[in-house]
Structure 1
Amino acid sequence: MAKQALLHFKNVKKSFSGNVVLSGVDFEIFPGQIVALAGENGAGKSTLMNILFGMNVIQETGGYEGEIIFEGKPVKIQSPEDAMALGIGMVHQEFMLLPGFTVARNIKLNRENVTPNLVSRVAGKRFELLDNPRIVEEAAGALHKLGMEINPEVTVDKLPVGHMQFVEIAREIDKSNLKLLVLDEPTAVLTESEAERFLKCIRQVADEGIAVIFISHRLDEVMTLADSVVILRDGQMVFDEKTKNTSKNQIAELMVGRKLEADSMINVNRSFENSDIILEIEHLSVSMPGERTKDVSLKVRRGEILGIGGLAGHGKTSISNGIFGMYPARGRVRYNGQELAFTRVGEALNKGMAFVSEDRKGVGLLLDESIALNMVYTDMKVNRRFLKKYGFFSLFDGKSAEKTVEEMIGELDIRCTGSKQLVGRLSGGNQQKVCMARALITKPDLLFVSEPTRGIDIGAKQILLNYLVKINKELGITIVMTSSELNELRTICDRIAIIGSGVVQGILKPDAPNVDFALLMSGEKGGDPS
């Protein structure tokens, strides 16, 4: 390993409106080293990376204290352009791709190959033409480094979400001056096989001398990939050690500051055979790019927690999106015995259902609005609560919403400065909790939650899962939970439907043998417990 650190965070401190979010963070990263940055949502990881990448939110809130030393020299990174000029690349947790552009154009964005022509020789470089063959060739080369055979000429919106993540990575490793790569929850949307391939690729990247900051809540991946682990808790660095000198349990306990209990199957002995059918889905097909459903039929019993699992790209997330009118869909859906006009946007909400989308930033949140408005927005629109009338007009009444919002902030342990804080300033896990609160404030009879713990740390994940069980048991809310994490489904669900190739491969109880789940995942149809 090189003697001189590539990057040194030296006593970095940061506050927002008097609230200290980073306090004296100090550690080094060397060329070719993979450092896992761990911590609960709200621990300060995102703020530290925002400082490193020169994000506007840091400059707009008074900057930071301490130093960033890069290649032995103090640097002031005022913008993402400054960071990229130094050789710092970042793959954000939420996709930063242009859906209507091809894979190749996304990979080469702002670094496109151009070719001169007669006009450009006279009028200047801005009249040069794109060299599409070279753009495609170099993009294909970057994908090949990752072991991905993705057509570089297809538009990004036609790809499964897992492939989109590889496009994000390919864009960074295609940069000729890359020295440090930051990866924020890069495997959250990948299948197990894709994640395994991805980790091998990142090790190859590091072997070429590129340093990597790997932010992940999947501790098995941290133990497999990282050379060392840095843990933040409540803005302070509480651990900096080589991975070989620690364990997964120690990391988890240091992250949350307490011992964690092993997962257990909560609802394994519950039966709803005699319960009525609250939702019946017949021959549902949904045209959701990358997650198309072909022919799904399911019955949801009142009071149960039904899990929907399966590999990425096979259609599991499109079921809830189709029922809520987010994508073109066909088939029949009956709710409480009555036909549901589910292709009409808003109809499911009006009938007493709620939906927590897997796309919390694109669909779930108003990022430039307060926590309070985000929480009550759906209830305000559907049930006309939290409004103050001014003649023919009605406006949001923050005062009437205050008690409800504060209760939800406490109930879900949302780490924030108060109900007026902008949602866009929250960590990903706390944003997910706001989405959950917004759905629950409408007091639904049936709640759909899609990938509720994606990109969320262990402590926050447990809070959300426990809360789902609580509202199911205490409030009688029927829940349909879609997740790529089979262990989570087995922890809280009464039954689990596995989707493969756009159809239901089978339905199992959570305590079914691992091999039964594996067979359904591989495409072999299986059991259907009542």
Structure 2
Amino acid sequence: MEEILLKIENLSKSFGENTVLKDVNLELKAGEILGLVGENGAGKSTLMKIIFGMDVIKETGGYNGKIYFDGKEVNFLSPFDALEAGIGMVHQEFSLIPGFEVNENIVLNRESTKKSMTEILLGNDLNRIDKNQNLERATKAISKLGIDMTGKEQINEMSVAYKQFTEIAREIEREKTKLLVLDEPTAVLTEEEAKILLSTMKKLSEKGIAIIFITHRLDEIMKVSDKVTVLRDGNLINTVATKSTNVNEITEWMIGRKVNLSSGDKKKDDLVKENILEIKNLWVDMPGETVKDLTLEIRKGEILGLGGMAGQGKIGIANGIMGLCKAGGEVLYKSESLVLNNPKEPLNKGIFFVSEDRKGVGLLLDESIERNIAYPTMEIKKQFFKKLFGLFNVIDDKSVTDNAKKYIEKLEIKCMNEKQKVLELSGGNQQKVCMAKAFTMEPELLFVSEPTRGIDIGAKQLVLDTLKEYNKEKGTTIVVTSSEIEELRSICDRIAIINEGKVEGILPPTADILEFGKLMVGVKEGEK
């Protein structure tokens, strides 16, 4: 009989009057891969925070129940205790040091050191960091992921996908790791990159490392996990062997209703041919996502998809046009030149951007949901104000609250109320707040990057349907950047595949999936 590595008994957790986990029981063997699924707010992240000894658990009164790890009852008081015991975790939101290189982040707090000859002669106990050895260790871990990184890249100059790879490499590099918790590790990866990661997970499990794999991509759960656990509203609904279930059954356990993720009715073919945005010879200096000599026309009223492998430039396009990364070339908006490298310019002209980096760019984490949703419109359009004594502008709190309530209901944002701080929300609900901000702005042109990153299967359709609704009812032109081709095919009128910083080709959503794959890897039409 295989040894039980992790055992959870009757685990419960409340935040004030809000109970988020109720009598959860779970077992995991060494080398086993457990797929943990559930809608946003189901309790997945809280469960992982308890296992990993996150400070927020202790600070909010701890938990009820027992946890056994490697044969001993544990109650980790900090993540350092969990790491020491052999538990590694890759969080949904990054925990990297921006000013450090990739290799420095990978070996952080576990650096190799050496003594200089002077220190040896003087009998000094101080050791110096062995940079060469640390780089060698880091590149060895990176090589297991099968990606193109040297280990010398600066974290703050990398795309989201490569930050994710760095996080994973850091945990792989730990020699003591017995259990690896991966919270949405493939959310920002393309399908090909996700395959690399799933393969790596299998290799790690064969070496005896147990893995808890949290993802909303149920097809990945079916491919890689040995068993799947479903949480709903803090309750453990079921734990079954993956081979004995299917995606439809898991979906019903998760949300209690059937979900249709098919593309549904396709958009009309008689799109207005007038261009709202013309991009000519655009270059963007975004490390890891460099755009070079890119030309693209975006039609008024369409939903245009930008797809492609990570690092090929798709993420860089919006970041360059919106002034978040240094850019050059010519961009015409409604036939007038758009000034680049000035973030206020596109905002003032009615262009808005929902970034893939919601915490770094998209949200004021310590502010309320309602203020986050209203803030851009207050700043740019000077709305949500009223006159005090007919002279002074003050914030119209009622209109701010009413607007937030509208989107909390429309997007099904799971929260206590509109006054709750955004940092207290789950990742998927934070993403919905970002979408609500964009819709409140009512832009003429909306760039949305990875709109369903970290969002569960039910909410994913909700967000995509809302984008389609805004496009249809308000005539908003939407440019969606996504790592998931099927997501783009479900809502877009056209899909441009970006490869090596340029447009490799543009296809209708009805094109064969193989044609998209060929463009992604640079195979021209007619080639095999």
CA distance in 2, matches of 1:140, 1:503: 29
1:123-168 CA distance string (max 9 Å, x none): 975x321112221222233233444563233434455544433322
Q: So what's the TM-score if we normalise by structure 1? A: 0.93
1:342 CA displacement: 3.0
**Cα 1:340/1:140, change in 2 over 3 Å:** closer
Residue 29 of structure 1 deviates from its aligned partner by: 1.0
Distance in 2, Cα, partners of 1:193 & 1:481: 19
CA 1:145–1:296: 2 relative to 1, 3 Å: closer
Structure 1 moving runs of 4+ over 6 Å? 120-124, 388-395
| CA–CA distance in structure 2, aligned partners of residues 55 and 158 of structure 1 | 28
Match of 1:45 in 2: 44
Read off the aligned partner of 1:106 and give its amino acid letter. N
Deviations 1:162-206 (A, max 9, x none): 443332222112222211100111122333333222212211211
- Distance (whole Å) between structure 1 residues aligned to residue 158 and residue 500 of structure 2: 15
Cα distance in 1 between the residues matched to 2:385 and 2:51: 41
> Hey, what's the Cα distance between the residues in 2 that align with 1:73 and 1:121?
45
Task: Count residues in correspondence.
Answer: 524
- Which among 257, 279, 289 is matched to residue 277 of structure 2? 279
1:416 corresponds to which residue?
415
Deviation at 1:426, TM superposition (A): 0.8
Distance 1:27 1:326 in 2: 44
Residue type of the partner of 1:378? P
Amino acid at match of 2:421: L
Q: CA deviation at 1:405?
A: 0.6
Contact (CA 8 Å) 1:103, 1:152: kept in 2 or not?
Answer: yes
Give CA-to-partner distance per residue, 1:64-99, whole Å, 9 cap, x none. 222222223322112111211211100112232223
Please state how far the C-alpha of 1:471 moved relative to its aligned partner. 1.1
- Kept in 2: contact 1:38–1:45 (CA 8 A): yes
Question: Aligned residue for 2:218?
Answer: 219
Q: Counterpart of 2:431 in 1: which secondary structure?
A: helix
CA gap 1:12/1:295 in 2 versus in 1, 3 angstroms: same
AA paired with 1:144? S
Runs of at least 5 residues in structure 1 that lack an aligned partner in the other structure: none
> Which region of structure 1 is more displaced relative to structure 2, 159-168 or 221-230?
159-168
Native 8 Å contact 1:375 1:434 kept in 2 = yes
User: Using the alignment, how far apart are the partners of 2:22 and 2:122 within structure 1?
Assistant: 55
When residues 277 and 62 of structure 1 are mapped into structure 2, their CA distance, relative to the original with a 3 A threshold, is same
Partner in structure 1 of residue 291 of structure 2: 293
Distance 2:478 2:147 in 1: 36
CA contact 2:12–2:21 (8 Å) conserved in 1: yes
What residue identity is the alignment partner of 2:427? G
Q: Which amino acid aligns with 1:64?
A: Y
Q: Give the aligned partner of residue 164 of structure 2.
A: 165
Distance 1:147 1:330 in 2: 32
- Give the superposition deviation at 1:254: 1.4
Tell me what 1:515 maps to.
514
Q: Identity, % of aligned pairs?
A: 52
Determine whether 1:324 maps to 2:319. no
Counterpart residue type for residue 348 of structure 1: P
The alignment status of 1:2 with 2:2, answered yes or no, reads: yes
Matched, 1:349 2:347: yes
CA distance in 2, matches of 1:137, 1:519: 35
Query: Matches of 2:468 and 2:474 in 1, distance apart?
Result: 10
Shift of 1:338: 1.9
Counterpart in the other structure of 1:492: 491
Looking at structure 2, the residues matched to 360 and 348 of structure 1 have their Cα atoms a distance apart, in angstroms, of 19
Asked if 1:15 is matched to 2:21, the reply is no
Q: Displacement of 1:324 after TM fit?
A: 0.7
In 2 relative to 1, CA 307–526 (structure 1 residues): closer, same or farther, beyond 3 Å? Answer: farther
Residue 362 of structure 2 is matched in structure 1 by 364
2: CA distance between counterparts of 1:475 and 1:163? 36
Instruction: Name the TM-score, length of structure 2 as normaliser.
Output: 0.94
Q: 2:373 aligns with which of 372, 375, 387?
A: 375
State the alpha-carbon separation in 2 of the partners of residues 203 and 184 from structure 1. 16
- 5+ residue gaps, structure 2, are none
The Cα shift of 1:119 comes to 5.1
List per-residue Cα deviations over 1:451-471 (Å, max 9, x = no partner). Answer: 101121101100000111111
Aligned counterparts of 2:264 and 2:293: Cα–Cα separation in 1: 30
Residue number in structure 2 paired with 1:453 = 452
- Map Cα deviations across residues 345-391 of structure 1 (whole Å, 9 max, x no partner): 12111111211111111100111111111111101111122346789
Give the partner amino acid of 1:377: Y
Residue aligning to 2:107:
108
